[in-house]
Amino acid sequence: AYIGPSVTTYSHLNPGYRIFTIDGNYSGGSYWV
């Protein structure tokens, strides 16, 4: 749910961020990397 707007926000910052966010959704720590 919250991962949606977060991807759009960091989309221009890091195109691969959304990938880490999806994997870090259940990990809860990958999105920090």
CA dist., res. 8 & res. 25, Å (int): 15
DSSP character string of 1-33: -THHHHHHHSTTT-TTHHHHHHHHHHHSSGGG-
In which band, very low, low, confident or very high, does the pLDDT at 1 lie, cut at 50, 70 and 90? very low
Q: What is the pLDDT of residues 3-12, one digit of tens each?
A: 555 555 554 5
Percent of the chain topping pLDDT 90: 0
Given a cut of 50, is residue 26 above it in pLDDT? yes
